Structure 1
C-alpha cells in the first residue's frame, strides 16, 4: 500500500478505492456500525476489515466522492474534526476500558482528550501516519505490551494514579496526571518530528539544529524554524524506526523543548504490562453484567455480520461496542444471564467464541482480491489455516500464543514482525518458514516446505503440532 488510507484519504487498491475509519480506543456505537455497513453495502464490495489497531476498512468502493463520504460518515460522527489529522489518530486502548475490575482507572476520557489534543495541533501535520499511540489502564489486557510508538501507561503513585510515558516500548522517567498526559504524548510526537527533521532535513543542518536545539521553544525565531520543519516533511519520525539512530534518552531530552506543561519525573520501577488478550465472557466491575468478546478470523467482516453485530449490541448490551486490536469485538454491559445465548447466536453467525481464539494469532493480507501484487486468496486461505491449526491443537495448553502469517508477497503488509510460522506466496503457491519475518528473504534454513492453497492448512497444522510437541518435551 503506497499511502496509508483514512476516511478522507482514499487508497486505490485492486478491488477499488478503500478507506480506513479510525476509531480511537476502538469505540463505536451500533448506529455507527450500521452506517459503515450501509456504505459498504451501497457503494462498496460488501467487505469490511477489522485492522490490527482496531479500526475499520471499507473496501471496493465505487462512485465515491468526498461529499458522499461526508454524507455517510459525517452524520454518524465518524469523521475527524480536523481533516488534516485523519490518518494520525492511531490510538489503541483496552477494549474492556471502564468495565475491567482489575484496571487501575477508566481511560475512556483520556483517549478522547488525546484525540482532541492531536487534532488541535497543526504542528503534527507531518507526523508519520504509521505512528501509533497506546493508552493502558493497568488492566488485564496489557495493551501497552503491543508494539507502539508513544504510550501512556497507568500506574499507582502516592498521589493517586498517574501515567508513564513510554517510547517504542521503553518506559521513560516522565510521568503525568490524567489531565496532562495527552500533552506529554503530544510533546513526544513533536520531539520526534523535530529530531527527524534535524537528521534528514534538506534545509541547512545548522538551521535545523537551531530549530530543535533552542532552549526556549517560545522564542520567536526558534518557533518559526520549528514550524517550517514540522510542515516541511516528510521525514522518518516514527519512533519505532527513529530509535535505530536516535536514542530514547535523546528524544526525552528534546521533548522538554516542546512541553506545554511542567515535566514530572519518577524512577522507572515496573516493566511494561504483558499483553494478554481475551474473548468470550469476561466479568465486569458492575455486578450482574459481563462483556462478551467475539473473535473475527483474519479480521474479515461483511455487511450482514456487521449489521448482526449492531443488533446484538442493541438487544443484549447498551448499544456500544469496542473493537480489540486482536481481531475481536467486545459487547459490553451484557446481563450475565443473557451471555451464553449471545455467544451461541454469535457462533451461528460465524464469530469465534472459544477463548482459545487468542492462542492462535493469525494475520492475512487482502490477497488477490485487494492487492495488485496478490495472486492467492490469502484471507480465505488464512481462515482455512486457522481452522486446521485450531482442530489439530485442540485444548492443548500453549506456553505462549502461536503467531501465523499468511502473506501474499514479501512486503508482509498484515504483520511486519517475525512470526512463528510464515506462509509466503511464491508463484501462486506458498513457501512456508518458521521464525521468519517478511520484508527480506527468510534464511533458507528456516524453510519448512512448499504448499498449494489447498495443502497449506495441513502443512501449517503439522508445523504447529510439532512446535507444541517440542515445547512440551523441553
Structure 2
C-alpha cells in the first residue's frame, strides 16, 4: 500500500506496533527550519490556502530577503521558502509575524487546513467563516499544540474535492445549516449544525490526541486498528457531550477516490484558475498573480494541487485578458498545456536523498496531457505525491519504476529498465526519449 505522505518527509508507518513518533516529527515550519542541500527550508502554513494580496507580498519579500527568491507550493496549499540561511529563523519569523502569517508560535505547524478552492464561487457554500473559526480554535487550544505537522483538517464545500485528500478530520457542507463530520477514512459520518462544525472538528482532533497517547500516532491512519474503529464513536460522544444533543444520525458516504481539481482557465465570471509548473513560482510570476488578485477580488487561493484560484468578479473579457498575461508568464492557463497534471518532488540538487534531477527529467518528458496525472519522485519517500489515481515514477538505483496508483492501492510496480525499453540502452535515465515514451504510455 502506498500511504499518503506530506510535502517533504517520509510517510510514518507503524511496523510491528512501533510508534511513528520514535524518530520525531521532522515536518518543517516557520520556526523550525529543515536543512536541505540547497539551504534551509521553511514551510509557511496558509490555512485554506487563502492569502490576501498584502500577505502574498510579504511572502515574496521574505523569499527574496532570506532565500532564493522563489516560492514553492505544496500539496496542502502551503508555501515553502528554500535556500534560506541557517541563521535567519528569528528575522524570518518576525517578517511573517508582522504580516499576520504567524498568529501562534506554539501552533504554527498544527495549522494544517485545506479548503475547497471554489467554495462560494460556483454556487457552493462559502467556507470563510468555518476557516477563520477553526484556525482560531486550533490556535487557542493548548491540546492542539501537540498535533503533528502531518495532521490535516479539510473543509469541503460539498464538491468532494478536498474530501478526497485523506485528511484526518473532514467537514463537508451539506445544505443550509448542516455539516457532515468525517473522522479519518471512515465511511460513516454524522451531522452537526453548521455553526458548531469548527468546534466539532477541533473536538475530533483532541479526541484523536487522547487516543494516540499510547501509540504515539501522528495521524488517524497510524492508530492501532481497534482504536481506529472506535474513534468515530468516541468523537460523536464527545461532540454530544460538549455541544449538546446536536449530533445527528450516522450517514454512510464513502470518501471520493479522486478529487474534482479546478481546471486551468476561467471559472465562470467569478474566478480564474491557473496551474503552476512543478509548483515553483519565480518572483515575477508571483508578483503578477498578486497584482491580478489586487486588481479584482484582492485574494489568492492556493490549491492542494499546486495551483492558484484568483476570485473575481472579472468584468466582461477581463478574465481572458488576465489569463493571457499569466500564460505569457509561463503559468498553466488551459487543460491542453503539456504541464497539466505533471508534478515532481524537489529532486537533485536540492535534496541529498534524491537519486536524480527529477524536475529536469519531468520537463524533458512533457508532452500532450495524459488521462492520468504523473508524479516524479527522486527516491522511495515520494515526498508531496498526489492523492487518488496517478502514475507514479520513482528513481531507483536500477532505473525508473513506473506504477499505476489507485487510491491507497498500488499496482505491482513495473520497473522500466534497458531490457524493457531498448536492448542497447544502459539505463532509462540515460535515454530521456525512452523514459518519456514509457511515461506517456502509462498516462494514456
Range of TM-score over shorter length: 0.7 to 0.9
* C-alpha contact (below 8 Å) 2:189/2:250 kept by paired residues: yes
2:164 equivalent among 128, 145, 157? 145
Deviations 1:119-176 (A, max 9, x none): 111112222210111001124x6221222111001113xxx33111112232434321
CA 1:447–1:153 in structure 2 vs 1: closer, same or farther (change >3 Å)? same
**2-structure distance, mates of 1:279, 1:173:** 29
Larger Rg: 1
* C-alpha contact (below 8 Å) 1:376/1:425 kept by paired residues: yes
Aligned to 1:415: 385
- Is 1:15 the counterpart of 2:31? The answer is no
Alignment of 1:22-101 (within 5 A): 22-62=45-85, 64-79=87-102, 81-101=103-123
Deviations 1:68-106 (A, max 9, x none): 113321222111x221111111111111222222x1x21
Aligned to 1:268: 251
- Is 1:432 the counterpart of 2:401? The answer is yes
Other structure's SS at 1:179 match: helix
2:331 equivalent among 344, 351, 366? 351
Other structure's SS at 2:360 match: helix
Write 1 or 2 for the structure with the bigger share of helix: 1
Alignment of 1:13-412 (within 5 A): 13-62=36-85, 64-79=87-102, 81-101=103-123, 103=124, 105-139=125-159, 142-156=161-175, 160-197=176-213, 199-200=214-215, 235-242=216-223, 244-253=225-234, 256-257=237-238, 260-262=242-244, 263-268=246-251, 270-272=253-255, 275-283=259-267, 289-315=269-295, 317-333=296-312, 334-356=314-336, 361-385=341-365, 387-390=366-369, 393=370, 398=371, 402-412=372-382
Aligned to 1:464: 440
**2-structure distance, mates of 1:237, 1:380:** 33
Other structure's SS at 1:135 match: strand
* C-alpha contact (below 8 Å) 2:265/2:272 kept by paired residues: yes
TM normalised by structure 2 equals: 0.83
The answer to which structure, 1 or 2, has the higher relative contact order (CA under 8 A, 6+ apart) is: 2
TM-aligned CA deviation for residue 337 of structure 1: 1.5
* C-alpha contact (below 8 Å) 2:417/2:428 kept by paired residues: no
Aligned to 2:431: 455
TM-aligned CA deviation for residue 257 of structure 1: 4.3
CA 1:65–1:321 in structure 2 vs 1: closer, same or farther (change >3 Å)? same
- 5+ long unaligned stretches in structure 1: 201-234, 469-474
Aligned positions, number:
408
* C-alpha contact (below 8 Å) 2:73/2:306 kept by paired residues: yes
* C-alpha contact (below 8 Å) 1:277/1:358 kept by paired residues: no
TM-aligned CA deviation for residue 254 of structure 1: 5.3
TM-aligned CA deviation for residue 19 of structure 1: 0.7
**2-structure distance, mates of 1:164, 1:354:** 33
**2-structure distance, mates of 1:265, 1:30:** 39
TM normalised by structure 1 equals: 0.78
- 5+ long unaligned stretches in structure 2: 1-8, 10-24, 419-426
TM-aligned CA deviation for residue 466 of structure 1: 5.7
**2-structure distance, mates of 1:420, 1:448:** 17
